[in-house]
Amino acid sequence: MESIAFFDAKPYDREWFDKINRDFEIRYFEGRLRPENARLAEGSRAVCAFVNDVVNAKTVEILSSAGVEVILMRCAGYNNVALKAAKEHGLRVLSVPAYSPYSVAEHAMGLILALNRKIPRAYIRTRDFNFSLNGLTGFDLHGKTAGVIGTGRIGRVFIDICRGFGMEVLAHDPKPSPDIPAQYVDREELFKRSDIISLHCPLTRETRYIIDEGAIALMKKSALVVNTSRGQLIDTEALLSALNDKRIGGAALDVYEEESGLFFEDNSDKIVTDEVISLLVSRPNVLITSHQAFLTEEALRNIAEVTLKNYSDYLSGGKLDNEVKAKDT
C-alpha cells in the first residue's frame, strides 16, 4: 500500500483524512515539515504539507533524496514551496485550489461584525456582569462601501455577502470578471472610497505588501482592514504605526506575516518575543484569529477528498488538474 508522510498533523486533520482515506497508509507527524525533519518522509512517495511548512530548496532536495515524488499541499496557497527546486528535482506539486470559498468569506464578514460592533469586548464584560454599553458603539454596514481586492472564488462570495448587507462594493483585480456585481476601480480609488477593505488575493511578487504605508495614507481614518488571505499582503509594521497614530479605524487579521512557528500552536505558557504581534493583540481596535478562516466541516472534508484524489490521479497517470508549476508564480 502506498504511503503518505503527513506533516504538521492536527487532530482535525487526522479526523477527516482518516474518514475519507481508503487507499493509502498515512504516516502522521506532528512537527512542521522543514529541512531538519524532511528525512522522516523516507519510504513514502508523497508528503502532505500545509501553509506554514518550510518547503524550501533544502527541504525539496532532502525529500528528493529520500525518494519522495509528490508534494501534496492540503491548501490553496503554495508560496512556501520552492517550485523551481521541485521542478529541478522532478517533484510534482499538487494543491487544493478551492475547498470552500464560503468558509473564508463568511469568516471575513464575521471578523468585520465582531470588530465593528465590539462583540469580543462586550462578551468579556458580561462575563464579569458588566453590562455597560460605554465604548461599544459601532456603525451600520448598510450604505457603507466595501473594497474587495481579489475577485476569485472567495472574493466573489464575499461580495455577495456584502451586497446582502446593503453595501456598495468596489473591486480590484488584474483580471476583472464581467459577471461580478461590483464596480471595478484602481487600487488608489478603492483605498480612498472604502469603509472596509478586505483582501482575497494570492501572495505574489505584485501583491506583497499591497497594504503599505502609501496605501494606508489614502484610506479613511475610520476604515477597517480585513485580511483572511496571506500575512505578507500587509506591511504589519506600517499597519501598527497607523493604528498607533489613529490614521485607520481598525484591523481584523486571520493571518500574519510572521505567523510561521506561532499560529496553529498553543503558546499560552510561553513568552512570545514577537513584539509586533504582541502590540497588535493589545490594541482595542484589532481582532486576530489564528488562521482559522478555512476551518469548517465542509472545508476539511473537501481538503481531504481533493488531496487524496490528487495523489490517486498521480499514481494512475491521470490528468493532474491541480498541479502547480514554477511558471505559475
The letter for the amino acid at 278 is: S
What is the set of active-site residues? 230, 259, 291
CA distance 174 to 208: 14
CA distance 215 to 235: 10
Mean pLDDT confidence for 267-271: 91
pLDDT higher than threshold 70 for residue 23: yes
**Residue holding cell 525533519?**
37
Look at residue 16 in the predicted model and tell me its pLDDT. 97
Q: How far does CA 41 lie from the centroid of its chain?
A: 26
Look at residue 324 in the predicted model and tell me its pLDDT. 94
- Concatenated DSSP letters of 235-272: -HHHHHHHHHTT-SSEEEES--TT-TTTTTS--TTS--
CA distance 112 to 238: 21
Look at residue 328 in the predicted model and tell me its pLDDT. 45
Contact 41, 6 (CB under 8 A): no
Contact 107, 292 (CB under 8 A): yes
Look at residue 313 in the predicted model and tell me its pLDDT. 96
pLDDT higher than threshold 90 for residue 77: no
User: What pairs with residue 73 in β-bridges?
Assistant: 49
Backbone angles phi, psi at 156, to 5 degrees: -65, -45
Contact 190, 170 (CB under 8 A): yes
CA distance 256 to 96: 21
pTM above 0.75, yes or no: yes
pLDDT higher than threshold 50 for residue 142: yes
CATH 3.50.50.60 fits domain 3-99+296-328: no
Contact 91, 63 (CB under 8 A): yes
CATH H-level superfamily of 101-288: NAD(P)-binding Rossmann-like Domain (3.40.50.720)
SS3 39: helix
Residue 129 burial (CB count, 10 A): 6
Residue-wise pLDDT for 99-130, tens only, equals: 899 999 999 999 999 999 999 999 999 999 99
Instruction: Please report, rounded to a whole number, the percentage of residues in the chain having pLDDT higher than 90.
Output: 91
pLDDT higher than threshold 70 for residue 329: no
Look at residue 326 in the predicted model and tell me its pLDDT. 81
Residues forming CATH 3.40.50.720 domain(s) in the chain: 3-99+296-328, 101-288
Q: Please, what is the average pLDDT of the chain?
A: 95
Look at residue 1 in the predicted model and tell me its pLDDT. 87
Query: Residue 45: pLDDT band by 50, 70, 90 thresholds?
Result: very high
User: How many C-alpha atoms does 68 have within 13 Å on its Cβ side?
Assistant: 30
Contact 199, 210 (CB under 8 A): yes
Look at residue 318 in the predicted model and tell me its pLDDT. 85
Indicate the length of the chain as a whole number: 329
Look at residue 261 in the predicted model and tell me its pLDDT. 80
